[in-house]
Chain A
């Protein structure tokens, strides 16, 4: 089992979809929200994903395909 901390940034139009619920339903991934700020037209959620590494990766790829930006929670690791 693996754990991954990520930040999801939702574009306008996806805020009303239960996308984190669907992530947990469609993949064997437990979603644990730690911080969030969601308004009517945009939002971000910081959470920990818990599951098999392959399932987490598949889930993240699915989120990206849906139009959600997925970033390491620590921010960009590549620096100048």
Chain B
């Protein structure tokens, strides 16, 4: 059963009936789903009986009936002892969200958004993306038997298109800058009767990422971490991890949350970190210039709210260079066997700094969120391939490799 009550403006509090609408008509701020928490009756036992997907938390999500799902969520929470030893952390966990059906956390919000699109009677969904969101929307549209329009910037790497094109969406490459793509999509969303995933479906889309917070708490046997380290692009994921934890606490399923939230960005696209460091609450847009394209968002829609979460939780924000991010990818792979995309490298590099500076203490229970899989951006670490080349003889092996055996 759904406990969805209304859409509510995060800035001015104006309320709207549940509908495809992303912005408040009055102050043009983002809307979010409001629930009737008092009517909810939850227990750990009841939740544990649900499916081993994000939909075990269906009662906490804004959907009414059958859901569109391709088995998203309930990804592993791995105790990262080897990486922890490298970084000097004794209670480090990795939430490995690479292991979703389209290899990124985007399957969570998209599962909710496509379910909602179908409820609203849309026959078409759309999005603009540099890769992860595109693949997820195309996959979910295929499952829901809906048409998908996916807009990508023209300079996107061809390899990234394959993971989207395989699901057969209408794939549109747009000439021009990312800003041009933004402007075009804002216009398209006004003109066509589509469920635009991160425009008119954004309040519902956003809620899917809360399940990361729920899962981590449940996998830690119903407690919140002491520290969360997560990447930020639009800032939505970051705010929703916190919201997930807060809701569980409000429902009495975990103790009051005192989690320090640490936000990481790539230095070439770090508007939220910039705002944190300068002490302002306004996130000034920047022109992204980083290889971490999945988090290269110059004008983050939820930047203000992500910044608020950082400040209110007593957390922090740091930006790392592309070289540090690549080193972070390698470190994670070579200690924990997890091949993350560049955004994951940004998280590990940020975690390394936080641990080295003593900001995160060695005994604090820390969860680092890895949100996308490495094969999506494998060209960024192609220099790692340096095989020995030998003849097919024992002599050749022993001559060239032998000394290392």
Interface residues, chain A, with chain B CB atoms under 8 Å away: 2, 4-5, 7, 9, 34-35, 37, 42, 44, 46, 48, 69, 71-80
Cβ–Cβ contact A77 & B185, under 8 A: yes
In the complex with contacts A48-B28, A79-B130, A80-B130, A74-B22 CB distance below 8 A: yes
- A74 touching B128, Cβ below 8 Å: no
- Total interface residues on B, CB under 8 Å, equals 48
- Looking across the interface, which residue of chain A has its beta carbon closest to that of B153? A78
A72 and B130 alpha carbons, distance in the complex (Å): 18
Contact A34 B28 (CB under 8 A): yes
Query: A78 and B300 in contact (CB under 8 A), knowing A69-B285, A72-B186?
Result: no
Q: Annotate B159-203 by CB proximity to A: 1 below 8 A, 0 otherwise.
A: 000000000000000000011011101100110000000110010
Contact B198 A79 (CB under 8 A): yes
Provide the bound-state CA to CA distance between A7 and B133, in Å: 24
Quote the shortest CB–CB distance from A71 to chain B (angstroms). 5
Query: Contact between B199 and A74 (Cβ–Cβ < 8 Å)?
Result: yes
- The answer to whether B131 touches A80 (Cβ under 8 A) is yes
Contact across chains for B285 and A78 when beta carbons are under 8 A apart? no
Does B30 contact A44, Cβ atoms closer than 8 Å?
no
Q: Are A79 and B133 in contact (CB under 8 A)?
A: yes
Across-interface contacts of B243 in A (CB, < 8 A) = none
**Chain A interface, DSSP helix/strand/loop, else mixed:** strand
Which residues of chain A have C-beta atoms less than 8 A from B296's C-beta? 80
Contact A80/B182 with A35-B27, A46-B28, A75-B303 known, Cβ cut-off 8 Å: no
Question: Does any Cβ of A come within 8 Å of B320's Cβ?
Answer: no
Distance, CA A69 to CA B286, complexed state (A): 10
**Per-residue 0/1 for B216-238: is the Cβ within 8 Å of any A Cβ (1 yes, 0 no)?**
00000000000000000110000
Known: A9-B284, A9-B285, A71-B299. A76 touches B28 (CB 8 A): no
A80: chain B residues at CB < 8 Å are 106, 129-133, 233, 293-297, 343, 372
Measured in the bound complex, the distance between the Cα atoms of B10 and A35 in whole Å is 13
A sample of 24 inter-chain contacts (CB < 8 A) reads A5-B28, A7-B299, A9-B285, A34-B28, A35-B27, A35-B28, A71-B182, A71-B285, A74-B198, A74-B202, A75-B299, A75-B301, A76-B178, A76-B298, A77-B181, A77-B182, A78-B128, A78-B129, A78-B153, A78-B297, A79-B106, A79-B128, A80-B132, A80-B372
Alpha-carbon gap, A78 to B154, bound state (A): 12
- The reply to whether B28 and A77 contact each other, CB–CB distance below 8 Å, is no
Asked if B302 is at the interface of the complex by the 8 Å CB criterion, the answer is: yes
- Complex Cα gap A71–B133 (Å): 21
Whether B30 contacts A74 by the Cβ 8 Å rule is yes
Residues of A within 8 A of B282 (CB): 37, 44
| CA–CA, A34 and B25, complex, Å | 9
Q: Could you say which of A34, A37, A77 contacts B27, with CB atoms under 8 Å apart?
A: A34
- Say whether B26 faces chain A, with CB atoms less than 8 Å apart: yes
B143 within 8 A of A: no
CB-based nearest A residue for B284:
A9
Partner of A76, one of B297, B343, B372: B297
Q: Is B11 an interface residue (CB 8 A)?
A: yes
**Chain A hits for B294, CB < 8 A:** 80
Please name all residues of chain A whose beta carbon is closer than 8 Å to the beta carbon of B202 when the two chains form the complex. Answer: 74
B262 to chain A, nearest CB (A): 19
Tell me the minimal C-beta distance from A68 to chain B in angstroms: 12
The 6 closest A-B pairs by CB, nearest first: A75-B301, A80-B294, A72-B186, A77-B185, A78-B128, A79-B133
New A-B pairs, 12, CB < 8 Å, besides A73-B23, A76-B298, A78-B181: A9-B285, A46-B27, A71-B182, A72-B186, A74-B202, A76-B178, A76-B300, A77-B185, A77-B186, A78-B151, A78-B153, A80-B130
* Minimum C-beta distance from A42 to chain B (A): 8
A75 to B10, CA, bound (A): 15
Q: Are A78 and B11 in contact (CB under 8 A)?
A: no
Q: Is B127 an interface residue (CB 8 A)?
A: yes
Does residue B313 face the partner (Cβ distance < 8 Å to A)?
no
B259 contacts A by Cβ under 8 Å: no
B29 located at the interface, meaning its Cβ lies under 8 Å from any Cβ of chain A in the complex: yes
